[in-house]
Structures are given as structure tokens and as C-alpha cells.
Chains A and B, each alone.
Chain A
Amino acid sequence: MIRLENVHKSFGDLEVLKGINLHVKEGEKVVIIGPSGSGKSTLIRCMNYLEEPTSGKVYIHNHLMSRSRRAFINKIHSSMVFQQFNLYPHMTVLDNLTLAPVKLKKIPRKEAEQTAMGYLKRVGLEEKAHVYPTTLSGGQQQRIAIARALTMQNRIIFFDEPTSALDPEMVQEVLDVMIELSHEKNFTMVVVTHEMGFAREVADRIVFVDGGVILEEGTPEHFFTNPQNERTKAFLSKIIR
């Protein structure tokens, strides 16, 4: 489904990813954890080519990613949810959800709107269809962003710290939506997060990244009871109170 082969990424002299090999299977829920600045965002952003690797290969569904194929591959295979929501502020919530399906997938507007309303209902925000995103709380905006990701009906969803910009009381409402999504067998989810409770509940596999390499990976069971790497242990002891 998603395959990274020896991916390196540098920003100028700073080498952020130092040879990442990762294979995410169809329907798998992978949670990426690691200290801040370790390269988690860069890693997940290489998967949909928001960052172009300096070297190495990224395959999505056996399509080799490239700069010129990014738009096409993202259109048919993946969606992304960002830390800062990144909703389009000049459009209503409903237009945010229908823009890509109508413009990219050529779905008739009426049909796209019906689909969008369905997803809004699913994230519990049907009544917000006609307001502008900036009038909503962070938690609501992030749920809208998840609904927007779903409207493309792609099988892969990337989440880059979706709850890190939220006030604490709004974290759970977003996690609840993500947990509900994780029950869908055919969704492939790659999630960067510091929410260990979520990771434990949802992850098929946890990947620990530090210093631009994958130091350890395994099931939540493995991670929370029997981590091997010293750095993993140190990280987990800091983050689990």
C-alpha cells in the first residue's frame, strides 16, 4: 500500500531523514511516535510528497511517487489531516468538503453535497454546513477537516499531530472520530501523535522515530510492556505519566 525505500531528506545541510524503510499494508493503522524535531512530520509528508525526498523511493499502491505525479496519486489514493486544520477560510464548511470532489473527481455538485452532509453527520457537525470555518472552535474545525479528508473517499488518510493544536477539552472529540474511523477495515491510517492512549487502542503497529531513523517498531503490546531500545524507553517514560 505505502512503501518507503531508503528515504533520505535533507533541508540544506540538515539531514532530517537518514534512510527510512517502511511498508504500510492495506488497512493497517500505523502510529508514528518520537521526540519533537525527530523528523515525524517530514516522514509522513514524504508519503504524499508535500516534501520531496532527497533520495529514496516512495510507492503508493505500487505507483512510484514523483513531483509530477503527486497531484494524480494524492487525488486517487490519499488525504491528509493537519495539525493546523488548514480549512479554506473563504469557503463555507460545505464548500470546503465539496471543492475537491467536484473539481477533481468531477462528481456532480448535488451528489457531492449529499455525500458531504453524510460525513458532516458522521463527525457530528451537520448543522455547521453553511457557516465559515473560522467561526468554529478548534475541535470542530479539526472534525470538519477529517470530514473533508473523507469526502475524497480515498483509502489512505495521513494525520500529522491532529490534536496537538487543540485546547485539552477538545482533544477527545477529535480522537473519538479517529477511533471510530479506525474500525473501518479498509482504511489505511498513518498517524503522528503524542496521544499514547489512542496509539494503544488503535495502532496495529507503532513506529518510533528518533534522529531521522526508525529505532524500533512493533505492536502496542510490545511498546508499552517490553520496549527494547534505550531511547524508546527514555521517550516512553517521559511521555507516559
Chain B
Amino acid sequence: MSEIQGSLKMITNGSVLLYLIKGLGFTVVIAVFAVLLGLVIGTILALARNYCTSKKTVIFKWLSTAYIEIFRNTPLMLWIFIGLVYFPSVNVSAGFSKALGLSRTEIALLIKGIIALVLFTSSVIAEIVRGGLNSIPKGQFEAAYSQGFGIVRTLTLIVLPQTFRNIIPTLLSQVITTVKDTSYIANIAVAELLGRTFQVIQISPRYTGFTSQNVSDVFVLCGLACVMYFAINFTLSCIVRRLQKPKVRKPVSV
């Protein structure tokens, strides 16, 4: 039996394949969660940075600016390690741990990684939202003010809905980036796709019938991970491209 045939036995093994597919599931769920929570935090940061300009509120502008710039200009990996040491260890219930199929220690580590990912991603999304806010014409604010809306309802009823609609393609692109960013968590926890791929490579002899690892194990498993990441992200890219295609305007009738 050749080495490559041995390696291929791993991914035709149902339990290994299921283990990796679950890893992909974690990857996607973590990325979507990070972007959604990042959108909430990022929106608050963006609003504070843009509109807290009066004397009483300007402190929030500076805090949010500092936050955004610090996280945007430092590597995610750094925050994952800082998180590993300094973030609190969350103790989840045994039931929850069982439902996820992860040990409680593993979950505690994973949560630290996710917190770091969310902190980092929200700084990136804050700038995406701010770009969206800044592209809303001033006239939209003026129309709202002239009608008697204050700043809060001008933002919530008129400006933010347009902003979110405009940034949907950019946010989807951010999901693509964040899917890739989840792989940094492989450094501290085994849950998402890359962490699990490394895990299987470590114990490959159990499945291949060889007494030690072969280079072909890495080739096959990393190849599979590659295909999985690609399938998800390429689909998203296609959606983004379709959304960004300029819409054909209905001809204006006089």
C-alpha cells in the first residue's frame, strides 16, 4: 500500500470526516458570530467616533478612536495570546460542553479566542460602518433636522438604514476575512477547522496503518481543509461580486 493511499483512508473514514466537517461548522459559526457581534460593537464605536463631538461627549469619541486604532494596527494573533493569559476562563455547564462535543477546558480556551476575534473584528467593522456613514449625503441629515428630528432619530430612522444597506457587500467580504482569521484560534484551542486538521495530522498513524506520520498525510488533510475554506469563501465572494454589480437603473421618465 502506498503512503498516499494510507493518507486517503483518513478522509474516507466517516468519523474523521465528520470531525473535520464539525470543525468547519465551528469555523463558520464563530466567523458569523464575530461579524454580527462586531457589527453591534462596531456601529456603537463608529457612531461615537463620528458624532460624539460636543464638549460633554467628546471623551467617547477619543475612547472609541483609541480602541479602533489600537486593534486595527496590531495583529490578531497578539490579542489571542494576550487573551489566553489575561481573559477570564468561562466555566460552561457539562450539558453545554456535551452538546458541543468539546471538553470544558477546550471551550474555555475557545471562548478566549473568540473574545479576541470579536474585539479585533469590531475595530475593523467600526471603520466599515464609518465609511458607510460618511458616504451618506449631508442633505439627508438636513432634511431630517428640518422636519424636527433630533440626532438620535435622524441616525436610527434615516442614516443607519441607508448605511447598513450600502455596506452589505463590504460586510460579507469581512465574513470571508473573518473565516480565515478564525484559524488563528488553532494556536490555543482545538475546535475550528484548522485546529482539528492539525489534531488529525498528529494522530494520523491511527488511521493510515503506518507506524509514523507521512508527508502525504499533511498533503491530504491540508488539501481537504483548503477545499473546505475555499468552498465557503468562494461562494461568499461570488455573492459579493453579484451584489456589487452596478444595478441597472430604470430609465427616468419625464
Contacts and interface: CB of A to CB of B under 8 A. Distances in A.
Interface stretch (A84-92, A118-126, A180-188, A209-217): A84-92
Contact of B148 (A72, A88, A137, A158): A72
A49 B146 CA distance: 8
Nearest to B140: A86
A82 B161 contact: no
B147 A74 contact: yes
Contacts of B165: 90
Interface stretch (A8-16, A18-26, A96-104, A199-207): A96-104
A119 to B, nearest CB: 14
B148 A170 contact: no
Binding site of B, secondary structure by majority: helix, strand, loop or mixed? helix
Given A50-B142, A99-B157, A104 B147 contact: yes
B254 interface: yes
A152 interface: yes
Contacts of A104: 147-149
A71 B149 contact: yes
B253 interface: yes
A86 B145 contact: no
Contacts of A100: 147-149
A72 B140 CA distance: 18
Interface of A: 48-50, 70-76, 78-80, 82, 84-90, 99-100, 103-104, 134-137, 139, 152, 158, 169-170
Given A49-B145, A76-B148, A80-B143, 15 more contacts: A48-B145, A48-B146, A71-B145, A71-B150, A74-B145, A75-B148, A80-B142, A86-B137, A89-B162, A90-B161, A90-B162, A103-B149, A104-B149, A134-B249, A137-B253
9 contacts: A50-B146, A71-B145, A74-B147, A75-B148, A80-B146, A86-B139, A99-B157, A137-B253, A158-B146
